[in-house]
Structure 1
Amino acid sequence: MNSAPPKATARSWVGLAVLVLPLLLITIDGTVLIMALPEISTEMSPSGTEQLWMIDTYSLVLAGLLVAMSSIGERFGRRRNLLAGAFLFAVASVIGALATEPWMLIAARALLGVGGAIMMPSTLSLARNMFLDRQERRYAMAVWAAMASVGAAAGPIVGGWIIETFNWQAAFLMNIPVMLLLLVLGPLLLPESKNPDLDRIDLPSVALSLVGLVGVAFSIKTLTGGKDPLIGLLAAAVGVLAIALFVRRQLRLTTPLMEVRLFKVPYFRGAVVTDLLAILAMAGALLALTQHLQLVLGLSPLQTALWLMPQAVLAAAAAFVAAALVKRFLPAYVITGGLLITAAGFGLTFLLSPTSPPVQIAATLALVSLGAGMALALSNDIIMSSVKPERAGQAAAISETAYELGATLGTATLGGLLVSWYSRSVESGIDGVALDPGLAERASSTIAEALLVAAEVGGGTGAAIAAAARDAFSQAVTVTGAAGAGVMVMVAVWALSTLRGAAANLDLAEDHEHELR
C-alpha cells in the first residue's frame, strides 16, 4: 500500500512565491516593448525590419532554447539553472538599458531570451517537485498559471505606464532588482533537484531542437507577414525537417534530450494542444484590441493600460476559480467551460464599431482572459501530473514551448488576418478619395500609417482617410474575433474528448508511466 505523499511546508509556499517572480518578468518581457517602439524609433531611427527584430528576437530565442535548457537543468540541477538564468537576465537587462544602436538592443533582447529559456522550465519543474500532494500541487500549478497569464496580459500595461512615467530604458531596468532578489533568496528557499538517470547532453539534439523550433516560429512570422514568402517556406521546410530528425534521434537515444514518448500519454497530448491554442487566443485578442483602444479610440498608452487592468486581474483570478471548480467538476468540463467563455468574449467583437466605448473592449478582453486563464491553469496541472517528478523538466519544457509557440501563432495567424482584412477594407473605403497612389499604399499597410497619412493630408480628405481607416480596422477586429471564437469552440470539443478521463483526484503519472516504456 502506498503511503500518502508529504505535505508542503511553509518554506515551500514561500519558495513558490520566489519562483513565480522570474516567470512574471519572463512573460511580461515578451510584450512590454510594444508600446516603447515609438520612443525607441525616435531615438535610434531603426528600420522597419530592425523594429520587428527588437520585438521578435526575444520570443524566437526563448522558444528555440526551452527544450535544450530544460535538459541541462535536468542533468546539472534545476535550481542552479534558475540562478544562472537570473544572472544572465540581469546582465542582458543592463545591456538593453545602455543600448544606443538598434543592433545593441536586438542583441540584448536575444540575450534576454537565452536567460528566460534557462529560467522558465526550472520554475515549473521545481514547483512540481516541491509539491507532491495532489491537491497542493493543483494550487501550486494554479499560482504558476496565474502568473503566466498575468505576465502576458500585463506586458502592455507595464509598458504603457513605464513609457509615460519614465522612459523606454526602464522596461529593462525593472528586471534587475527582481533578478537580484532571486539570486539572494533562491539558494535559501528552493531545494535543488535533478534527474539522476540522465548523464551527458546530446549536442546534435540541442542543435536540431534549436533549428527546428526557431525555423518554424520564424516561418510563421514571415509567411503571415506577407513578405518574403520564399524565405518563409524555406524556413518552414528546414524547421520541419529538423524537428523530424530530432524526434527520430530522441526515439533512438538511451537518455534523450526530450522524452517524445510523453505524447503517447493521451491526457498529456490533449492538454499540450489545449494549452497552445488557449494562448493563441489570448495573444491574438490582446494584439487586436490593444491597437483598437490606441489607434481607433485614440487613447494614450497609460489610458490603454488602465483599460487593460480588468483583464489582468481576471487572468490572475481565473486559475484559482478553476482550482475551486475542479473540486466539484471533472477538469475536462472546467477547461471546456473556460474555452467557451473565451469564445463568448471573442463573440462580443461582433458589436464593435469605431465609436464603441472602451468598456466594451475591456469586457471582451476580460472574458477572453478569464476563460483562457481557467483552461491554462488546469491544462498545466494535467501536463505536470501526467509525469513523475523526475520527468518534470521534460514536461515543463514541452508545456512552455507550447506557450511560446501559441503566442507566436496567435500574433501571426490572428494578427495576420487582422492586417490583411484591414488592408482590403481600407482600400475600398478610400477608393472615392482623391489620393496619391503612394499615399494610398501607405494608408492600406497599417492603421497607424493611415492616421499619419491623414494628418499629413489634412482637411476634409484627411478626415475621410482617418474615418475609413478606423472603420476598416473595426471590421478587421470583428472578423478576427469570429475566427478566434471558431478556434476556441473547436478546442473546447478537443479538450472535452481528450481530457474527459482525467479525474481530479488521481495522480495520472502512475496510470500512464507504462506508456512511456
Structure 2
Amino acid sequence: MSKPDNSKWLGLTVISLACVLYSMDLTVLNLAIPAISADLQPSSAQLLWIVDIYGFMVAGALITMGTLGDRIGRRKLLMIGATAFGVASVLAAFSNSAEMLIVTRALHGLAGATIAPSTLSLIRNMFDDPAERMKAIGIWISSFSIGAVMGPLVGGVLLEYFWWGSVFLINVPVMILLLVLAPRLLPEYKDETAGRLDISSAVLSLAAVLFVIYALKHTAENGFSLLSVMCLAMGLTLGTWFVRRQKNLSHPLIDLNLFKAPGFVAVLGTYLLSCLTMFGVYVYIAQYLQLVLGLSPLVAGAWTVPWALAFVVGTNVTPWLAARLGQARLVVLGLLGTAAGFAGLALLTVQPNMTLLVGATVVLALGLAPMFTLGTELIISSAPPERAGSASALAETGAEFGGAVGIAVFGSIGVAIYRARMNDLLQPEWPAEVLRAAQDTLGGAVASMVQLPVAEQATLLLAARSAFMEGMQLISIAGVVVMLLASVLAYRSLKHLHLTH
C-alpha cells in the first residue's frame, strides 16, 4: 500500500503538525497558571492536578492506544484522538471551576495519548526504505522540540492579549485542519489478524503506569513517604500482573516477543537512560533561569530556543552522519558528547554565564539527537509492521517513564542537597515561616523573603541560590556519569548489530 513520494512527505507534514500541538500542550499551561489561579481559585492540590493530569493520562494510556491503533487503524485512531483533543480544548478553555478543568485536562491527556504511537507507527508503514524512514523519524522528533519551544512563546503572546482559555483554543483550528487533511494524505494501516482489545489488560496498564508515575512525582516533590511507597508498590504489583496476563493471551496488549529482538532491550534501556538524564537535569535549568537569574518565564523560555533548535538540527543531520560514521558509532559519540554538555552545566554558578549555558545545552542536544532518532528507528523496525503501534507505544512509554524517574531521582537528590546546605546558611532569628519555606525549596525562599528587612532579603536570596546551585552542579555531574554508562551500554549492545548502512 505504498504512496507516491510527494504524498508520503506531505502526509509526514500532517503527522508533524499533530506532534507539535501535542508537545505544545505539555508546556503552554505553565504560563497560564497565575491567571487560572486568580480566576478559578483552585486549592494547592487542585493546582497540582491541573498541571500534572495531562502528562499522567498520556503516560498511562500510551500502551493501550498504541495497541488499539493496530486493531482499528492508525489513521482512524489519530482522527478520533484529534476530534477528542479539539473538544477537550474547548471545554478546558471555558471551564468555570477547578474540578472541570482537571477533568478536561484528563480528557486532553487521553486524546493526546493517541497521537505519538499513531503517528510513529504510521511512519513505520509509510516509509519502507530504512534511510527515508530515518529521515522521517528525525522530522517527527523535531516536531516535538518545536512544539516544546512554541508552547511558552505562543502562550506568552496569547496571555498578553487574551484570557487564559486562549491557550487551549489555539488547538482547535489546528485539529480541524488535521481532520481535513488526514483522510487525503495519510494511508490507513491496521493488523487484520488482531483480536479484540483486552479491556482488563488496558485497565491494568493504565493503573500500573499512573501509580508508578504518581509515586515518582510525589517523591520528587515531598521526599519518601508512606504514600509514595504504597503507590509504587501498587504500581509494580499491577505491572507484574499485567505482564503475566500478556503471556496467557492469544492477542496480548503488548507482544512480549518484541523484547527478544536483537538489541531491543538494550536500545530501549539506553533510550530510557537518555530521557531520565535529560528530564532530570532540564528541570533544574528551568529553575536556574527563573529563580537564580531572575528571568521572566517568557525570557527564560527564549533562552531555551537554541537548545531546541540544536535538537532539531541534530535529529535531521543524524541520517547523513549515520551513513558516514555508522549508526552504532554515531550513537556512542553522541552520548559522549551529551556527557560533555552535562559537564559544562556543572560549571555554572550563581553568576550569569549565558554563553556557557547555551553552549552546554546545545552540545547536550546535539549529542542526544542520534540516540533518539536511531534508537526510535531500531525500536519500531524490530517489530513487524502490524505491531508497529505496540512498539511505538513502548518507545513513548519508555520516554515517559525515563522522564518521571529522572525528575524523581535527580529532584530528590537536589532537594536533599539544598536542604542540607540551607541548614548551615539560615539564620535562627528569622521568622519561623520564613525558615520553613526557605529550607523547603528555592521557590519558597524567593516567595518568603519579602517578610525580611531589605538588607536580609539579599542574604537569604544569595544563600538559597548558592544551595540550589550546589545541588544543580552535583546533578549535572551525575548526568555525566549516567551518559558515560549509557555510552558503554550502547557500544556493547549495538556493535554486534549490522547498523552501518
TM-score w.r.t. the length of structure 1 is 0.92
Gaps of 5+ in 1: 507-517
Q: Equivalent residue for 1:310?
A: 306
1:130 pairs with 2:117? no
Letter in 2 for 1:462: Q
Which residues in structure 2 correspond to 1:151-230 (within 5 Å)?
151-152=147-148, 154-164=150-160, 166-226=162-222, 229-230=225-226
Equivalent-residue separation in structure 2 for 1:401 and 1:211 (angstroms): 14
Q: Distance in 2 between matches of 1:322 and 1:422?
A: 38
Say if 2:149 and 2:301, in contact at 8 Å, map to a contact too.
no
Greater shift, 140-149 or 313-322, is seen at 140-149
Secondary structure of 1:419's aligned partner: helix
2:86 to 78, 83, 90: 90
Match of 1:452 in 2: 447
Q: Deviations over 1:278-311 (max 9, x none)?
A: 1222222321111111111111122112211101
Residues 412 and 356 (structure 1), Cα distance of their counterparts in 2 relative to 1, 3 Å cut? same
1:488 partner letter: M
Correspondence 1:261-272 to 2 at 5 A: 261-272=257-268
Further displaced range: 208-217 or 84-93: 208-217
Q: 1:477 aligns with which of 455, 472, 478?
A: 472
Distance 1:306 1:300 in 2: 10
The range that moved more, 357-366 or 20-29, is 357-366
The correspondence for 2:463, drawn from 468, 482, 490, is 468
Query: CA–CA distance in 2 between the matches of 1:150 and 1:274?
Result: 23
- Which deviates further from its counterpart, 146-155 or 413-422? 146-155
Alpha-carbon distance, 1:155 to partner: 4.0
Query: Among the aligned pairs, what percent are the same residue?
Result: 37
**Cα distance, 1:228 vs structure 2:** 6.9
Q: State yes or no: 1:504 paired with 2:499.
A: yes
Please give the per-residue CA displacement for 1:154-211, whole angstroms capped at 9, x wherever unaligned: 5444444544464532321221121111100001100111011102111111111111
The 10-residue stretch of structure 1 (346-355 or 9-18) with the greater mean CA deviation from structure 2: 346-355
Q: Tell me the residue number matched to 1:410.
A: 406
Alignment deviations for residues 395-419 of structure 1 (CA, whole Å, 9 cap, x no partner): 1110111122122222222233233
The whole-number CA distance in structure 2 between the counterparts of 1:390 and 1:396 is 11
Separation (CA, whole Å) in 1 of partners of 2:78 and 2:332: 34
Match in the other structure for 2:5: 9
> What residue number does 1:23 align with?
19
Unaligned runs of 5+ in 2: none
Alpha-carbon shift at residue 116 of structure 1 (Å): 0.7
Measure the CA separation in 1 of the matches of 2:196 and 2:477.
48
Mapped to 1, the partners of 2:217 and 2:63 lie a distance apart of: 21
Q: Which of 59, 65, 70 does residue 69 from structure 1 map onto?
A: 65
- Worse-matched range after superposition: 399-408 or 141-150: 141-150
How many Å separate the matches in 1 of 2:399 and 2:304? 21
- 2:335 alignment partner, one of 322, 325, 339: 339
Contact 1:284 1:414 in 2 (8 A): yes
Tell me the distance in 2 between the aligned counterparts of 1:336 and 1:35.
37
Amino acid in structure 2 at the alignment position of 1:342: T
The whole-number CA distance in structure 2 between the counterparts of 1:325 and 1:390 is 30
Q: Distance in 2 between matches of 1:493 and 1:166?
A: 50
Deviation at 1:44, TM superposition (A): 2.8
RMSD of the TM alignment (CA)?
Answer: 2.0
Q: How far apart in 1 are the matches of 2:146 and 2:272?
A: 16
Match of 1:490 in 2: 485
Give secondary structure in 2 for the equivalent of 1:327: helix
Matched pairs, number:
501
The DSSP-based 3-state class of the residue aligned with 1:200 is coil
Q: Name the CA shift for 1:124/1:451 in 2 (closer, same or farther; >3 Å).
A: same
What is the aligned partner in structure 2 of residue 255 from structure 1?
251
Helix, strand or coil at the partner of 1:454? helix
The aligned counterpart of 1:37 is 33
Does the 8 Å contact 1:209/1:246 carry over to 2? yes
Q: Secondary structure at the match of 1:29?
A: helix
